[in-house]
Chain A
């Protein structure tokens, strides 16, 4: 049930464009809370975590124009929607977030070579020391052959090993 300080908002995903989830939210809640609530109602998992998403929140302006990504997700919903030219409609941009080991990054392209993946600032592993694998594969991914990266993709970067002496 809506409370006195609640605002009715809508949240949808962008690309793919979903039907909006419409709900009431406390005006004192943060935009991050709004994003989390919207994602939950849309059955979308924010990546890498709901508390620190790489995914982006946009305000949907008049005439369905998509506003720039909102950088301050800590601001209150009420404060935001009281600003001039803002609306109560929001969109979540689902980015191409993927991880290597436990390190998350956003892929700038749908295909990257292992050399490019390892060089991403958020990954930052030396291609001369680390080899990239799919999680359950023993076959190294060739260093300069692009691999497809989709949202949630997982790779493992492993330093080569050697067996010691047998007894």
Chain B
């Protein structure tokens, strides 16, 4: 199911030049897009990410994302790319443990797909992290 709010936002983002798609996988909606990364430590300047969009979006918010495999970080796996693996469009995507900082979780009316994509980019740029991964 593709929530109406997500469909509206995706259309607006496309009009502003963002390449983004919504897919439905067994009733779970994902927004597929790409974000830039810092090279090194990452082995690519861009990565495809999948953002799980809850059916009740945007009353329910966004958190975390899946990274399309394969990837390398410092020539190995990143310790926080450690969640479940799903299949979307004949590729494997792994859940990344990257969340909003304490006390700054998703806020309807302020946060949206656009801001969440930039939040996801922060993982690859190692910015805005309020704790360490080591």
| Chain A residues near B (Cβ < 8 Å) | 48, 101-103, 125-126, 129-131, 133, 135-140, 156-167
Contact = CB atoms under 8 A, between A and B. Distances in A.
Contacts of A103: 114
A160 B100 contact: yes
A156 B128 contact: no
B115 A125 contact: yes
A77 to B, nearest CB: 27
Given A129-B107, A133-B127, A166-B82, A159 B98 contact: no
Contacts of A159: 100-101, 104, 111, 115, 118-119, 128
Contacts, number: 99
A50 to B, nearest CB: 13
Interface of B is mostly: loop
B43 interface: no
A161 B129 contact: yes
Contacts of A138: 38, 125-127
Interface in B83-114: 97-102, 104, 107, 110-111, 114
B115 A140 contact: no
Contacts of B107: 129
A16 to B, nearest CB: 27
B130 interface: yes
A157 B118 contact: yes
Contacts of B127: 131, 133, 137-140, 158
29 contacts: A101-B117, A102-B13, A102-B114, A103-B114, A126-B110, A138-B125, A140-B128, A158-B122, A159-B100, A159-B104, A159-B115, A159-B128, A160-B100, A160-B104, A160-B128, A161-B100, A161-B119, A161-B129, A161-B130, A162-B98, A162-B101, A162-B129, A163-B99, A163-B131, A164-B97, A164-B99, A165-B97, A166-B82, A166-B97
Given A126-B110, A136-B38, A164 B115 contact: no
B28 interface: no
Contact of B102 (A101, A162, A165): A162
B38 A161 contact: no
A163 B80 contact: yes
B102 to A, nearest CB: 7
Given A136-B38, A157-B115, A158-B118, A163 B17 contact: no
A167 B97 CA distance: 10
Given A138-B126, A158-B119, A163 B132 contact: yes
